């Protein structure tokens, strides 16, 4: 018998709908997925900046930043990556419950992990954004020098080199950062969420 069997969920008077009504927006999670160097964090930052300037309440969850705190105990094995995404999904879900527009920028290379995130957050407010960019372009950028280290065998289980990236099969939004500039990628995302959520 696990301890969770003795836990009963508590319900309160103020729920997600009440918070959304108060904030005059819908709580959603924009899930940016793609290879390292594809432009996820840069794009998420630009989208958040646009939303913030237009009076929307937002919060950006970034993979590297969370690994300096909440997820600092996790490595990069398949199991740790799965747990990393599970934790982030629960955080995103709580924040969306508060009425925030959450921007989540994580490589999240495995379809099963992204599907679990979708289940945790809920289909109605999970927006999968595939930041699509060929490996060779991402590697040529190598902003953090990670690909170089991975090629030298200094980083294990590095996505795109020694660990696979499973592309989304049916992302709600797909932006090709090797063909579109930051402004147009941002415009495409803002247009989609404005028509469907905000």
123-148: pLDDT as tens digits: 999 999 999 999 999 999 988 899 99
Cα–Cα distance list, 44 to 5, 51, 102, 135, 197 (Å): 38, 11, 10, 20, 17
Q: Is residue 20 left, alpha or beta, with left meaning phi > 0 and alpha meaning psi from -120 to 50? A: alpha
| 108 classed as catalytic | yes
Which whole number is the average pLDDT over 40-45?
A: 96
Q: Which residues contact 89 (CB under 8 A, 6 or more apart)?
A: 116, 117, 120, 121
Phi, psi dihedral angles at 8 (to 5 degrees): -110, 130
pLDDT at 152: 92
The gap from C-alpha 1 to its chain's centroid, in whole angstroms, comes to 34
**pLDDT, the chain, mean:** 92
Band (pLDDT 50/70/90 cuts) for residue 75 is: confident
Sheet holding 126-132, edge to edge: 58-62, 101-105, 28-33, 126-132, 173-176
Per-residue pLDDT tens over the stretch 80-94: 889 999 999 999 999
Q: Which residue has the tokens 């939303």?
A: 51
* Both tokens assigned to 22: 């108060």
pLDDT at 198 over 80: no
> What domains can be seen in the chain, in order of their start residue?
16-196 (3.40.50.300)
**pTM across the whole model:** 0.92
Query: Looking at residue 1, what is its pLDDT?
Result: 43
Q: What is the pLDDT of residue 8?
A: 82
- The highest-confidence range among 5-9, 63-67, 117-121, 141-145, by mean pLDDT, is 117-121
Average pLDDT value for residue range 50-54: 96
Q: What interhelical angle do 16-23 and 78-97 show, nearest 10?
A: 60
Query: 36, 41, 104, 108: which is the annotated catalytic residue?
Result: 108
H-type helices in the chain, by residue range?
16-23, 40-53, 63-66, 78-97, 111-121, 135-141, 146-151, 182-196
pLDDT score of 92:
97
Flag whether pLDDT at 34 surpasses 50.
yes
Query: What is the average pLDDT across 175-184?
Result: 97
Instruction: Using pLDDT thresholds of 50, 70 and 90, give the confidence band for residue 2.
Output: low
CA distance 95 to 92: 5
Q: Are 129 and 187 in contact (CB under 8 A)?
A: no
Secondary structure class of 132 (helix, strand, coil)? strand
């Amino acid at each position: 018998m696990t301890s969770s069997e003795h836990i009963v969920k508590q319900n309160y008077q103020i729920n997600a709908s009440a918070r959304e009504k108060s904030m005059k927006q819908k709580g959603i999670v924009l899930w940016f997925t793609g290879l390292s160097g594809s432009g996820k964090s840069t794009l998420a930052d630009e989208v958040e900046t646009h939303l913030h300037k237009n009076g929307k309440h937002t919060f950006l969850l970034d993979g590297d930043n969370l690994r300096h705190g909440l997820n600092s105990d996790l490595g990069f094995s398949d199991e740790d990556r799965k747990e990393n995404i599970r934790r982030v999904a629960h955080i995103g879900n709580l924040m969306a419950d508060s009425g925030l527009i959450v921007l989540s920028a994580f490589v999240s290379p495995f379809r099963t992990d992204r599907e679990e995130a979708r289940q945790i957050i809920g289909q109605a407010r999970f927006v999968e954004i595939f930041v699509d960019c060929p490996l060779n372009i991402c590697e040529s950028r190598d902003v953090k020098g990670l690909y170089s280290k991975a090629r030298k065998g200094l980083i294990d289980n590095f996505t795109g080199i020694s660990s696979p990236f499973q592309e989304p099969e049916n992302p709600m939004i797909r932006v090709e950062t090797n063909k579109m500039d930051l402004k147009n990628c941002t415009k495409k995302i803002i247009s989609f969420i404005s028509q469907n959520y905000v």
